[in-house]
Amino acid sequence: MQPRIIGCGNVDRGDDAAGVLVARRLRSLGIEAEEQSGESFSLIDCWQGFETVVVVDAVCSGRKAGEVTIWDATTRPLPKAALQCSTHAFGLYESVELARTLGRLPDKLSIYGIEGKQFTPGARPSAEVEQAVELVTQQIAELMQAATLSER
Q: What is the CATH number of the domain that holds 143?
A: 3.40.50.1450
Least confident of 38-47, 53-62, 79-88: 79-88
pLDDT on residue 89? 53
Question: What is the domain range of residue 28?
Answer: 4-151
Q: Give the integer Cα–Cα distance in Å for 94 and 84.
A: 10
Sign of the four-CA dihedral 38, 39, 40, 44: negative
Q: Please report the pLDDT score of residue 84 as a whole number.
A: 64
Q: Residue 82 is which amino acid?
A: A
Position 81 scores a pLDDT of 67
- Number of structural domains found in the chain: 1
Question: Quick one: CA dihedral 4, 9, 11, 16, positive or negative?
Answer: negative
96-134 pLDDT tens trace: 989 999 999 999 999 999 999 999 999 999 999 999 999
Contact yes or no for 151/41 (Cβ under 8 A): no
Does the predicted model carry a pTM greater than 0.85? yes
